[in-house]
């Protein structure tokens, strides 16, 4: 796969659209934001992100979830799980999340995104305050007990290489906007914690 070196040719120019993010905010009645759920496999990122989306949808918000498994069926289907491919996976989702932010949508991502540098790179793409890192904190022991996909067992047997938490590291966020103890907190309480944080920030009424 040929990857860009990040340098755009001189004849590629950004087109400034007449319909702005502020216009879309006025139409939807709420600002857009990126909610970046990160944590180990089995920590409950997807479950929480989709439950939060359901609640936001019931509140009349425009939302979309980029689920880690789902994006690997299409947008990132050509990528593996090496450090380089993980970085590219996060870069692509980050760029998509940035576009959805401009579209006025509350954008939720549920990806392990194990490396701080990759998460911070996405944060740097958008204005300050538009990227909310939500750490789904759950111990490796609890994640392995859950192991709903059977991935940890396979990783322990050496059948899966570069598996986060086993043969590849997970770097916890240094200063996330929100920590949710998904290892112990019930789902409803976890959803309420996220919605409460959005309310405090003026994103939802």
Tell me the CA distances in angstroms from 53 to 50, 57, 65, 200, one per residue in order.
5, 6, 7, 17
- The closest alpha carbon to 64, from 96, 86, 30, 22, belongs to 96
The arrangement of strands across the sheet holding 106-110 comes to 63-67, 106-110, 33-38, 131-136, 178-180
Q: What are phi and psi of 141, to 5 degrees?
A: -60, -45
Q: What are phi and psi of 32, to 5 degrees?
A: -95, 155
4 noted as active-site residue: no
Residues 6+ apart with CB under 8 A from 30: 61, 62, 106, 203, 204, 205
Q: What's the gap between Cα 204 and its chain centre?
A: 19
| Catalytic, out of 41, 46, 113, 168 | 113
As annotated, the active-site residues are 113
């Amino acid at each position: 796969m040929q990857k860009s070196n990040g340098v755009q040719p001189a004849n590629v120019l950004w087109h400034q659209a007449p319909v702005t993010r502020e216009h879309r905010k006025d139409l939807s009645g709420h600002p857009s934001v990126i909610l970046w759920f990160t944590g180990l496999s089995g920590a409950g990122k997807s479950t929480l992100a989709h439950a939060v989306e359901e609640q936001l949808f019931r509140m009349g918000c425009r939302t979309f979830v980029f689920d880690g498994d789902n994006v690997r069926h299409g947008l990132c289907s050509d990528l593996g799980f090496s450090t380089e491919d993980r970085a590219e996976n996060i870069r692509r989702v980050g760029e998509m999340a940035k576009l959805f932010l401009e579209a006025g949508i509350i954008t939720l991502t549920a990806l392990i995104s194990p490396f701080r540098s990759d998460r911070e790179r996405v944060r740097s793409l958008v204005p300050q305050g538009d990227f909310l890192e939500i750490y789904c904190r759950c111990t490796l022991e609890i994640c392995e007990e859950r192991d709903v996909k059977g991935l940890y067992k396979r990783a322990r047997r050496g059948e899966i290489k570069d598996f986060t938490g086993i043969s590849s590291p997970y770097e916890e966020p240094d200063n996330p906007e929100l920590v949710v103890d998904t290892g112990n907190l019930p789902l409803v309480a976890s959803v309420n914690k996220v919605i409460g944080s959005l309310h405090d920030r003026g994103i939802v009424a």
